[in-house]
Amino acid sequence: MTLGPVMLDIASTCLSDEDKVRLRHPLTGGVILFTRNYESCEQLAALTAEIHALRTPPLLIAVDHEGGRVQRFRHDFTSLPAMRSLGKLWDAQPHRARRLAQQTGFVLAAELSACGVDLSFTPVLDVDHGQSSVIGDRSFHRKPQAVAELAHSLMLGLKSGGMAAVGKHFPGHGYIRADTHHEIAIDERAYADIEMSDLVPFRQMIDFGLTGMMAAHVIYPRVDKHPAGFSHFWLNTILRGELRFEGCIFSDDLSMQGAAGYGDIRDRAQAALRAGCDMILVCNDAQAADQLLETLQWEIPAVSLARLAHMRGRRYAKSMIQLRAEGTYVRAVREISEIGISNQALLF
């Protein structure tokens, strides 16, 4: 059995019978975890082991674990800084900011991989235009070059900790105020304006070897009538063609309100896959997940399977206990803890 193109969530801290049926379905290829799925490092490691044991090849296990307000696992995990704090440090001490971004990426990946998680959907490559309600301090900076440099450092850290990077939200979610979790989001800018600003970090990160990309549900009507994640123009003409991205493209959650104008869950899935997504996410809607698995007809291309294989994580340490005894990790955690102190010092 090969991996399918659908990534689903699960209900709790262990697999139910219903979860197992969904995860064994041929269309399923991955699992995304949330805070509700976590109690302790030991429980998480047992859960990921159970998920990986369900299939051959094993399902991919992902999480949104960026740092700041988007960190799904907190107890017994290092408290990671919001990316904006690294951007503030970059203004005064760019070399140190890059170093700490790399250390942050290493700790993030090493901890997750020690618990059996394959990938985190990070880094955020959105430029902070100062008005997005959902991006905000998740963005590194207002300057595209700062975003690119800090994200590159974070990616290097992720790689050293055993994890590929997934940039988001292509081609940029930071300009509009609307939150696509709850509403339709429209960015009225022309392509030239987006290219000169928001696309800069994406272009540079692709040149640096970015492995994964998540598309935004934002509509850019002066470029294409479809949201980026449903747009052949954005995903193929621009991302694959112009920017020469060869990695794995993930949709954002198809259950979000920003995707609501594209029919039922099967219609949304087909639109995203036909546009160029390699894997689609359906979260927090078990009924929609069941409907999709019952109705979607899609044979995942060999090239998508190859791209998904590159998202597979490797363990830097076999367990959190082993990781906490490792000197490189201990030093990195100590450095990360000083980020807030450093920013406070810059105010005086």
Catalytic residue ranges: 181, 252
Q: What are the beta bridge partners of residue 280? A: 6
Q: Which of 215, 85, 98 is closest to 141 using CA atoms?
A: 85
| 129: phi then psi, degrees, rounded to nearest 5 | -85, 5
Q: Which of the 8 DSSP states describes residue 311?
A: T
With H, G, I as helix, E, B as strand and everything else as coil, classify residue 238: helix
83-92 vs 339-346: helix crossing angle, rounded to 10: 50
Gap between the Cα atoms of 85 and 101, Å rounded: 10
Q: Which of 48, 20, 80 is closest to 312 using CA atoms?
A: 48
Given a contact cutoff of 8 angstroms between Cβ atoms, the answer to whether 33 and 77 are in contact is no
Given a contact cutoff of 8 angstroms between Cβ atoms, the answer to whether 213 and 256 are in contact is no
Q: Which of 104, 190, 71, 90 is closest to 140 using CA atoms?
A: 90
Q: Which of 121, 133, 141 is closest to 67 using CA atoms?
A: 121
